[in-house]
Structure 1
Amino acid sequence: MSFAPALDAVVAAHAALRARRPLVQALTNTVSTNFMANVLLSAGASPAMVDNPEEAALFAGIADGVLINLGTPTAAQVEAMRLAAAAAEKAGKPWVLDPIAAGGLPWRGGVAAELLQFRPAAVRGNASEIIGLAGLGGGARGVDSSADPAAAVPAARDLLAHAAAVSASGPVDHVVGRVGSRTVLVRIGGGSALLPRVTATGCSLGALTAAYAAVAPDPLTGLVAAHVHFAVAAELAEAVAPRPGSFAAAFLDALDAVDEAVLRERAKIEPAVELA
């Protein structure tokens, strides 16, 4: 459908990312910090891992976009997340919620639900996390990614009451958002089966979403563009590095190598579907 983000919109968002190099504040888990910072740098953004309560709110007003990732939350970090989300909302800065294990661990699930009041631009997770956050299912175990992203579409749609766009990652990413009065689903193919075999790739997609949300005309376009950039880079990396260790390094190179020609050749964006 012409009213939903398509390839031209993704290409324009990518050009804006490279031109503006948005500053992304990442409040993230201890496992992902280094790789996430390198993903942002390779893709064309600038990372800042400012996640303490003393500075989080101030920096959220300075940054172009904010990521809040619930992978390894501590009490101090959760307080910083509350402050950063509130400050981002007040300053009109887009922020992204990655609700890791929100459906499987009650405390962090409560934190994720509380953060939704600050109106994230996007929520990004695997299908189990999206279902768990929306309260439509239970039993998600840790960062379990066994659920089919298609099964998360009703949950993603429910979460649009709190966020402008929502995605569930998988072999085919499912992205849901609103365009005017329409609610649309965009499916994005490609990627690599090696992505879930490298620590912090999913977390880093959330950070890249925050970067794109800072430069795209709307959160849905930013979320779609981040997924496409990630999927295309993963395909390029797998072609030269078919095992997890070498893939991780090749993926960073590929994020940098993606340009308009590569996007137009390799992007797999299915025609948008309007949800009734």
Structure 2
Amino acid sequence: MTEVTCGNDSGPSPFDAIRQVHADGTEFWSARDLMPLLGYDKWERFADAIERAIASMTAQGHDPQVEASRLREPFGRTNQMGENFHLSRFGAYLVAMNGDPRKPEVAAAQAYFAIRTRHAETQLPELTPELLMAKALKVADATIQRTAAQLAQAESEVAELKPRAIVADRMLDASGDLSIADAAKELCRAGLTDCGERRLFKALETRRWIYRGKGDGKWRVYQSAIEAGYMSVLPQSHYHPKTGELVLDVPQPRITPKGVQRYLLEHGVAEYQIALPDVFEPAIGGQS
């Protein structure tokens, strides 16, 4: 087992040591380099964690080609060709979050990328004018592509769901995904009975969209429900009141407009024509 620390005054973190930078100044981590630092010795098992991370970032509206670009390149002492991923800081964080929670190396990686992300947010990067321009162009291009993809997805869902009916227009406004408490209130307004927050949690558990975690008993979302587009999660964290350290909390379960519609259709609600927002704003990674 590899001993991994987040890095402190006694020396740099091993995660800093494998950090690389593209020609345009953007940082990335090679998945092949990251694998042993997360306690994995087989690529196939580590690749499973990466695929789960890709599914998670896709469900949150991020572009996998930006956050976890897949490629083939030489690796190892023999420089043999094989699959690899160039992970952004956010991509590496999601890989750590989807890693084996029993591995102490995974916990160290989660803490490292969460703390370094916070640190990066509070400092201005030192970039040359050329790198600033290149970075601005890349961000603008990624934003345009992401917005176009969101528009295309929204138009596709409108066309697919047009014959169906659910709730009043205000239910699916630009607020996007709903907390379970807010979803329960809107379901009651739509005419459902027995739709309180606690009953909705139980109903979603019965549908195998959510489950209670062992040990802490907190609600968590099944990956299958995220991939189906019915649920999403909102990453949460807080700063320890005594130490000031960043503490990662269990992500908040949230139900998507598609999930609300599915729930209503199963209960026979068909009184209003659907009205979807122009662009969904799903829950994304970040600090709470």
Could you say whether these structures have the same fold, taking a TM-score greater than 0.5 normalized by the shorter chain as the test?
Answer: no
Q: Which structure has the larger Rg?
A: 2
Query: How would you bin the TM-score normalised by the shorter chain?
Result: under 0.3
| TM-score for both structures, normalised by structure 2 | 0.23
